[in-house]
Structure 1
């Protein structure tokens, strides 16, 4: 299984991490924080444990962090 990372073009500190193929089913209030720019696709097994738990529970995680320091993988 794969994940995707997108960054909001409105707020460059907002990063959205979710399972590939599930963007259209995410809550509208999440999708509306975009438009979203695709940054990366990777294997779910490589995600940080806390992000993986959030994706498992809620299908996505939004991280507010400067682009220069954001990292989704361990």
Structure 2
């Protein structure tokens, strides 16, 4: 399974991580927090465990963190 990361252009601290190809099926209140800029895609097994849990349960996670320190992947 692959993931995609997008950053809100309205709020540069807001990041959306979700299963690749499912953006249009995310809740409208999430999609409307954009417009969204695509940042990265990759293999879901490289993402931090707490993000994987949220994506598995809810299909997405919103992370509010400065873009200078934000990292979705395990280092």
For the aligned pair, the TM-score class normalised by the smaller chain equals: over 0.9
Q: C-alpha displacement at 1:53, in angstroms?
A: 0.1
Is 1:41 the counterpart of 2:44? The answer is no
Q: C-alpha displacement at 1:30, in angstroms?
A: 0.1
TM-score (norm 1): 0.99
Residue 29 (structure 1) aligns with: 29
Cα offsets for 1:16-54 (capped at 9, x unmatched) = 000001000000000000000000001000000000000
Q: C-alpha displacement at 1:66, in angstroms?
A: 0.1
Q: C-alpha displacement at 1:9, in angstroms?
A: 0.2
Query: In structure 2, what is the Cα distance between the partners aligned to 1:39 and 1:55?
Result: 17
| Structure 2 SS opposite 1:12 | coil
Aligned residues: 74
Residue 8 (structure 1) aligns with: 8
Structure 1 gap segments, 5+ residues each: none
Q: Which runs of 4+ in 1 moved over 3 A?
A: none
